[in-house]
Structure 1
Amino acid sequence: MDSGTVDSGFVDLDILLTRIRHPQSKVHFLDAVKAYKAGALRGALTSAWVALAYDLIAKYRELSAMGDAAATAFLQSWDNATAAGDIAKLLQLEAGILEDATANTQVVNRIARTHLERLREDRHLCAHPAFSAEADLFEPSPELVRLHLVNAVNLVLSQEPLQGKAIFDLYDVDVQSPGFPTAYERILDYVEQRYLARVRAQNVRNFGTVLAKSLLKGVPAQWEPLHRKIIPSLVTVRDRAPQAWPDIFAAIVRLIDNLEPGNRPRAIAFIAAFPDFWPQLQEATRTALQATVNNAVPAALTDYRILAGVTVPQFRAALLAVIAGLDREHLVNAVASQPLADLWPRAVEEYQGSGSWRRSEANFSDLITPFAGRLNGQQLDQLLDAVIDNGQNWDAAETDTLLLALLRNATPADRPSHDARNRFYQHIVRMRRIDKYEDVLTFLQSDGWVPPPPEPPADDESWPRRFGQ
């Protein structure tokens, strides 16, 4: 909420009414305006407080519908007291609603609360004569009443019910759920619409810092396997909430400069995703991160996030050497952690050299399938060649099923070239595996590719031509 106030003397109260969001709040506030215009100043303050309290409850109902647990808890107490006719409880809840709106739901910030508490106190003086000394009735000035009316609208009645710290609890549950998107671009739109559009600016800054802490420090622990969702979530904050990014950026720089040595592989992966941070780090920090990369030993690698730094020019040569030195076990773990493009040559090489049918199937599942949806046409050409270059691959029982599933994940623009398809087809014909790969070949023809006239096997010139040839 806006924490400032406006010079009430220059605000038309009728225009002020048009800024109120909730229709019923406008009705209550209209009573305050009418009383003010009629000179009933004590009544005007009393009606203004009623409109304010009603509007906060209405905002709580909106927040509760969005999953805000603090709003839901307050409403449950409010609704239970209403149903039971418990006036004492309702008065207690009304008396504490500004504190709750500041500390729990964060619908109101602390500066705004100060202004609104003055309205509440003056309303008490108007509604309860015993609150004033010597039994004198409190007589607010027109200027004071007008100021309270303006503040009530500016600070609450005209404002969206922006989420406060509840954003963290909501995101925590959501990011672990199957309903959270996995495609990069969809995550950007989703996080913007669900978490940035209706959140207070301070909480956007806090949200960005929490996401960065997850990537750099591994907290909370339940987000550890979710970095492919956390990174684009932070990108959303950077790109879709640019007004908050400078403060978040400065906080992240401090985090990296003060990071524990054990978390340096995380920092290297973070810089790979957000390279703009590298030149802003302290020289000592850059030295430590560079040494961490230079001293990495393939056989001793345990935190595979460090390999993401291969896209950073300062780290690339050292990390390419690490990737080249990975044995199969470490390579499988690295691909499972993150199927980086620079891991693909090693992965397809390992698959191409499979020494048995079972190892071929294991290599495909462990080293090839994780790249599904990430391979371009040239890489799929390499895969088709790897299949036909090794009898353990093309003759393994599951190869056709595994290959078809992978090809179906490729976009039409990233499918294998016609030359690679021709080579694959001719080999399958020669090896008499047309029936085994019939579904694969049908899929490869779905974008217009036509198999070439098959070259008959050397020992059988009468081999029938298939697929209309």
Structure 2
Amino acid sequence: MSQVWSPSTRPLVEEAWRCYNSGAIRASIAATWTAVTADIITKLTRLADDGDNAAVPFRDEVARARANGLTREGVRAMQNIEATLLDKAASLELIDTIGVRELERIREDRNLCVHPSLRGDGDVYEPRPEVARGHLAVALTTLLTHPPIQGGKVLEAFTAYICDPLFVPTLPHIRATFFDRVRVATRRTLARFAAKHAVLEIGPIGQLPAAEHADRMAAALRAFAGRDRELVREVVAEQRDKFHVLGGGPQLRALTRLGDQDYFWGLVDEPLTERLREMLVAPAPVAWEPLPVDVTASLALVRSPYVRERIPSLVTRFDALSTFHRMAVVEASPDPYFVPMVAALLKEAVNYRMGERAGRILVQHAPFLTVEALGAALAAWYDNKECRHATDMPEFAVALFHGTTHLGPAGAAAFVAFLTKVQEHEEPGTYYSYPGLDTALQTAGYPPPHRPMAPRPPLQPSSDRS
């Protein structure tokens, strides 16, 4: 989080921490308040520089005080600025009213630390170490680690990020930028905004199709749920009444994008579950016709335990699909649930093209494979010539080997056994003897036992005796 601190703030925070560690508790509290004032002034000045008109008068007031320097007028001007600093930060949404109250306590304790005569009995204020530590923690979490962005502007920045043509659903980045570094109240605002658009499929006018925008908001909800699942569950449940009166298309698409998340099912009562079930298990096209993208995505929900529990007929529907259609579903949504099916897809491939597709699916599922699942898949691969002699399969074998390094020597042994059987039936050095896998195994220190070379015929004595 340090990258959001202003250059003037970091040394002050480090000084407060050093004072605390050395036992200089009064100095630590004073340094913490100094860091707070410096941070607010820097951030409000930056807001003004960035074009926020509401912050311009404050920036000009600070500039006038600084122009007077260490004169009586300059010191009095800065004291007046400090007296209203927390209220100004709240009005410009750097902090909320709770933050004002928490930071006000730091200021009060700082005054006791630097003005011991404030105690009526003449005793010197002796703050406890945990008070200093608590003040520093409050300052960091309430203000110092947050960027100089107002609550409304955070929402604007979030909307622009979601609608960016180069949007990539990188959940850790979304979480760090729009959850970890914003205030608690703003987190709820962003989560509610994302839930509304993801569930009700409300799109930004003229920027993105509503369904695509909802898919992106669903990714943001997943990111937020990684930090506060209960918050996401609450804001999603708030959409219940509006969701129930949506049309079938938006409801089915919402199920597709959110049905694998527990917080979605807080929206759905038993009658709506029955309605979704009827839409979800509608007949698929005939065996060799491609599945529509939306049908593929909805059938892929079979991977979710939440969906299997509430709509168990989807499992029957998936199992009844043709091999061609099951390949489409599994390929669209790689998941540990599909791992036991991959070997069956390799067995069922009836031509080279299907063999390659099954190999590609196996590579997609490499991170989820166990040693047993890998061995079963490689056995099915070897036994089906439509797989073993498909054009891309030798390359897929190398990709699969590199993708299963988490299995260690046991995984490598499965590849050695596979390659040994292949090389027993293929001409050495030919493409379908899998030379790339051979090289990869040897490079990793797992040389397969090669079959012996055929003996050369004995040399005949030369007839030239001269």
Measured in 2, the distance between the counterparts of 1:172 and 1:406 equals 39
User: Does the CA-based 8 Å contact 1:269-1:306 persist in structure 2?
Assistant: yes
Residue number in structure 2 paired with 1:380: 374
Partner deviation per Cα, 1:149-180 (whole Å, 9 max, x = no partner): xxxxx99xx84456424334444555668796
**Structure 1 portions without partners, runs of 5+:** 1-12, 27-54, 65-69, 86-93, 114-153, 464-469
Match of 2:271 in 1: 284
CA distance in 2, matches of 1:433, 1:170: 60
Whether 2:305 is the aligned partner of 1:318: answer no
- Relative to structure 1, the CA distance from residue 378 to residue 260 in structure 2 (aligned partners, 3 Å threshold; closer, same or farther) is farther
Aligned-partner Cα distance in 2 for 1:433–1:394: 15
State the TM-score, normalized to the length of structure 2.
Answer: 0.57
CA separation in 2, counterparts of 1:212 and 1:328? Answer: 36
Match of 1:20 in 2: 33
Q: Does 1:338 align with 2:328?
A: no
**How far apart in 2 are the matches of 1:315 and 1:378?**
30
Structure 1 pair 177/78, CA: closer, same or farther in 2 (3 Å)? Answer: same
Aligned pair partner of 1:304 in 266, 271, 296: 296
Q: Which runs of 5+ in 2 are unaligned?
A: 1-25, 64-80, 101-137, 286-290, 457-466
2:251 maps to 1:264: yes
Kindly report which structure 2 residues correspond to 1:25-174, keeping only aligned pairs within 5 A, or say none: 25=37, 58-60=42-44, 72-74=50-52, 78=56, 106-107=93-94, 109=96, 159-160=143-144, 161=146, 163=149, 164-171=151-158
Aligned residue in 1 for 2:194: 211
Query: Which is bigger in relative contact order (C-alpha 8 A, separation at least 6)?
Result: 1
Q: Is the 8 A contact 1:209 1:252 kept in 2?
A: no
Distance 1:214 1:403, change over 3 A: farther
Q: Within the alignment, does 1:391 sit opposite 2:391 as a pair?
A: no
Other structure's SS at 1:373 match: helix
The reply on whether 1:439 has 2:436 as its aligned counterpart is yes
**Alpha carbons of structure 1 residues 444 and 383: separation in structure 2 relative to 1, 3 Å:** farther
Residue deviations 1:169-224 (CA, integer Å, cap 9, x gap): 44455566879675xxxx34x44433223212222112223333454344544446
Pair 231,159 (structure 1): closer, same or farther in 2 beyond 3 Å:
closer
TM-score w.r.t. length of structure 1: 0.57
| Aligned-CA RMSD value | 5.1
Take 2:202 and 2:332, find their aligned partners in 1: how far apart are those partners? 18
Asked if the contact 2:95/2:183 (under 8 Å) is kept, the reply is no
Letter aligned with residue 269 of structure 2: Q
Counterpart for residue 126 of structure 1: none
- Aligned equivalents of 1:76 and 1:451: distance in 2? 72
Q: Structure 1, residues 406-451: CA drift from partner, whole Å, max 9, x if none?
A: 3322342277473564144222332225553233134345666453
> Is the Cα contact below 8 Å between 1:278 and 1:286 reproduced in 2?
no
Aligned residues: 353
| Change beyond 3 A, Cα 1:111–1:159 | closer
The partner residue of 2:179 within 190, 196, 199 is 196
Secondary structure of the residue that 1:273 maps to in structure 2? coil
Q: Give, in whole Å, the separation in 2 of the partners of 1:181 and 1:413.
A: 28
Q: Show CA shifts across 1:85-116 (max 9, x none).
A: 9xxxxxxxx9xx9999779x632558999xxx
Change (3 A) 1:328 1:219: farther
In structure 2, how many angstroms separate the alpha carbons of the residues matched to 1:421 and 1:228? 43
| Residue 236 of structure 1, aligned match among 217, 223, 226 | 226
Show CA shifts across 1:274-295 (max 9, x none): 33653674333333334444x4
Is the CA contact 2:200–2:243 (under 8 Å) kept in the aligned structure 1? no
SS where residue 208 of structure 1 aligns? helix
Pairwise CA distance, 1:360: 3.6
Residues 217 and 263, structure 1, Cα contact 8 Å, conserved in 2: yes
The one-letter amino acid paired with 1:451 is: P
1:251 to 2:248 alignment: no
Tell me by how many angstroms 1:389 deviates.
2.0
Q: Counterpart of 1:318 in structure 2: which amino acid? A: S
When structure 1 is superposed on structure 2, of 390-399 and 198-207 the one drifting more is 390-399
Q: Percent identity?
A: 16
Give the Cα separation in 2 of the matches to 1:379 and 1:248. 40
Aligned match of 2:421 in 423, 426, 446? 426
